[in-house]
Chains A and B, each alone.
Chain A
């Protein structure tokens, strides 16, 4: 196996090189695009949810009558709530919020006689201390919610992962009687992320396949004229200079660098052919040409000398003398 054969055996064709390079580059680009799209859409969803949540929470805090809330807030922990009209109305209000936004878990809370934060109208027990189920940070934020609308970013409790908003219920004197809290289940945000991924990945996959096809087509288009030129060089090496290179590279207004290469190659082949023809002519010109007149004249000049006449006369004797035995 010659060195050239070995190279050919192990060679890595241009189209595979292009394919590898483009695939590698676009894998990186696509990964960035995918991560960005998913993040962007989930962030956008989150932002909208937060806005919505704050609006609903503040709306509920405004809509729940403060006087009624005040009356519920001062009920003893062991009061019979089943017949309490105030409690029922507020529960209905909360329920209507829930009916329109199933992801939202609304509740009210306030301070008991001891100044401790307790649930009022909620799924938890009436006047059950918040600290019993919620982590201290949440308790702090709920506390702040009594003074003004407060937002709590992603927090996890016994019931799941949430974002929450708290807004105070203020009576006509400007005193806070209680607060509305709303938990928004992040299951929805996770769903949005999943949806975004589901939307983006098929698009990327299709783009990927299209890209690979495109690279294959482009590399084939690039390599084909090169192969033809390779064939042409072999023919030139074999002494065939009459090449038709018109089909190498596009023609007319689409002519490109490959067309230029084919053109200059054609010119080169013609020049080489021309030079070879000239050389052949030169070889043919090697004629054994003898000027007869000049020849005779030179011979006569020598022959006419006395020395030559003498030598010619003695020639046979001289040779005989050489071979004297």
Chain B
């Protein structure tokens, strides 16, 4: 059965796409069949991490307009992670970067039911172990729908007051929508912050487990958007955080 993982954050700039891509890559490298859907159709971007440029075609937008089947939007990017173990596979459903498509989404919105069916069909047709939904930041109708259909909600936040507050709201909403698993990830944590202390405080504040406290890294910023950092820098503390998140997801899917 497919574990649907929504990756969400209250505000933009939490490193959501980067984390999603790297966690998905880690799981695929470990032998899982993984797909990533960029549902942030207003400002897509995850495809650049897999080496696509602005002219990527066969996008989620094409599926939403009924032009093509969802299976046709799935680009196999397994080669980006080298040789995965077993039957590991990594698929990407990119969002369109075309200005006209983005304008149409902003003007007309899209059929959330069709999106939901797309998730399901993709999971079934590719016999996925994990389906990652990279969402638009902030709570709106589309993101709440994504959250609702998820088995796991992966909530990313930065260690600041606004994110602490906004994440608390998102956690409450997820609980009311009976999302089975909640995982928190703090990203861009300055080296001066005591990670264990922060983790304990978050346990108390949110009542949900923190999968990883990931460091603020200059190296990551320099290498951002130019590939999968956890593949190119496996020994970096940030990459360790990614592996921790992947491990949490694997544990969650086996127990839940």
Given A288-B164, A319-B149: A312 in contact with B176 (beta carbons within 8 A) = yes
Is there an interface contact between B144 and A311, defined as CB atoms closer than 8 Å? yes
Inter-subunit contact B198/A311 (CB<8 Å)? no
In Å, the complex CA distance between A319 and B168 comes to 23
Contact at A323–B1, with CB atoms within 8 Å?
A: yes
A6 CB within 8 Å of chain B: no
Q: Is B165 touching A322 in the complex (CB atoms < 8 A)? A: no
Residues from chain A with a CB closer than 8 A to the CB of B139 are 302
Residue from B116, B123, B161, B180 whose CB has the most chain A CB atoms within 10 Å: B161
User: Which chain B residues border A286 with CB–CB below 8 Å?
Assistant: 159, 193, 198
Given contacts A295-B165, A299-B169, contact A322 B144 (CB under 8 A): no
Pairwise interchain contact B144-A291, C-beta atoms closer than 8 A:
no
Closest A residue to B167 by beta carbon equals: A290
User: Once the chains are docked, how many angstroms separate the CA of A311 from the CA of B113?
Assistant: 12
**Is the C-beta of A35 less than 8 angstroms from some C-beta in chain B?**
no
Q: B198 — which chain A residues lie within 8 A by C-beta?
A: 286, 288
User: How far, in angstroms, from A290 to B166 measured CA to CA in the complex?
Assistant: 9
Closest chain A residue, CB of each to CB of B119: A322
| Binary per-residue interface labels of chain B (125-138) against chain A in the complex, 1 for a CB within 8 Å, 0 otherwise | 00000000000000
Binary CB contact string for chain A from 291 to 302 against chain B (1 if under 8 A, 0 otherwise): 100110011001
B219 at the interface (CB under 8 A from A): no
Question: A316 to B168, alpha carbons, bound, how many Å?
Answer: 22
Task: Please encode chain A, from 106 to 120, with 1 for each CB lying within 8 Å of some chain B CB and 0 for all others.
Answer: 000000000000000
| Beta-carbon contact of A319 and B151 below 8 Å | yes
Distance in angstroms from A174 CB to nearest chain B CB is: 114
Smallest beta-carbon distance B150→chain A, Å: 8
Residues in A whose Cβ lies below 8 Å from that of B165 = 290-291, 294-295
Is residue A307 within 8 Å, beta carbon to beta carbon, of the partner chain?
yes
Q: Whole-angstrom distance between the alpha carbons of A312 and B180 in the complex?
A: 14
Q: Contact at B164–A283, with CB atoms within 8 Å?
A: no
Q: Which of B116, B161, B178 contacts A321 (CB 8 A)?
A: B116
Q: Please indicate which of the listed interface residues B4, B168, B198 has the most CB atoms of chain A within 10 Å of its own CB.
A: B168
Contact A322 B120 (CB under 8 A): yes
B68 on the interface (CB 8 Å rule)?
no
Contact A279 B205 (CB under 8 A): no
Interface residues of A in 258-310 (CB under 8 A from B): 279, 282-283, 286-291, 294-295, 298-299, 302-303, 307-308
Asked whether, in the complex, the Cβ of B192 is within 8 Å of the Cβ of A279, the reply is: yes
Contact count A vs B, C-beta below 8 Å: 75
Bound-state CA distance A295–B198 (Å) is: 20
Q: Is B172 an interface residue (CB 8 A)?
A: yes
Q: Interface of chain A, helix or strand or loop or mixed?
A: helix
State whether the Cβ of B48 lies closer than 8 Å to any Cβ in chain A: no
Interface residues of B in 193-215 (CB under 8 A from A): 193-194, 198, 201-202, 204-205
Specify which chain A residues have a CB less than 8 angstroms from the CB of B177 in the assembled complex: 311-312, 315
Bound-state Cα–Cα, A283 to B193, Å: 6
A7 sits at the interface (CB 8 A):
no
Interface flag for A318 (CB, 8 Å):
yes
Q: Which residue of A lies closest to B120 (CB)?
A: A322
Residue of A nearest to B1 (CB): A323
Contacts of A287 in B (CB 8 A): 201
Q: Are A321 and B205 in contact (CB-based, < 8 A)?
A: no
**Quick check: is B148 within 8 A (CB to CB) of the other chain?**
yes
Task: Tell me whether A324 is interfacial, beta carbon within 8 Å.
Answer: yes
Return A14 CB to nearest CB of chain B, in Å: 38
Determine whether B145 belongs to the interface, using a CB cutoff of 8 Å to chain A. Answer: yes
User: In the complex the two chains form, is A283's CB within 8 Å of B169's CB?
Assistant: no
**Does the CB pair B116–A322 fall under 8 Å?**
yes
Q: Which of chain A's residues has its CB closest to B145's CB? A: A311
Choose from A279, A302, A319, A324 the contact partner of B173 (Cβ within 8 Å). Answer: A302
A322 touches B145 (CB 8 A): no
A281–B59 alpha-carbon span in the complex (Å): 49
Given A288-B201, A290-B164, A302-B139, A322-B169 contact (CB < 8 Å) = no
B136 to A: closest C-beta gap in Å: 16
Report the minimal beta-carbon distance from B222 to chain A, rounded to whole angstroms: 25
Q: Provide 22 A-B residue pairs closer than 8 Å at the C-beta atoms, listed in order of the A residue.
A: A286-B159, A286-B198, A288-B204, A288-B205, A291-B165, A295-B165, A295-B168, A295-B172, A302-B139, A302-B144, A303-B176, A308-B176, A311-B144, A311-B145, A311-B148, A312-B177, A318-B149, A319-B180, A321-B149, A322-B2, A322-B119, A323-B2
Beyond the given A286-B193, A288-B198, A312-B177, could you list 9 further A-B residue pairs with CB under 8 A, ordered by the A residue number? A283-B193, A283-B194, A288-B205, A290-B164, A302-B144, A308-B173, A311-B148, A316-B178, A319-B149
User: Which residues does B use to contact A, with CB under 8 Å?
Assistant: 1-2, 4, 116, 119-120, 123, 139, 141, 144-145, 148-149, 151, 159, 161, 164-165, 168-169, 172-173, 176-178, 180, 192-194, 198, 201-202, 204-205
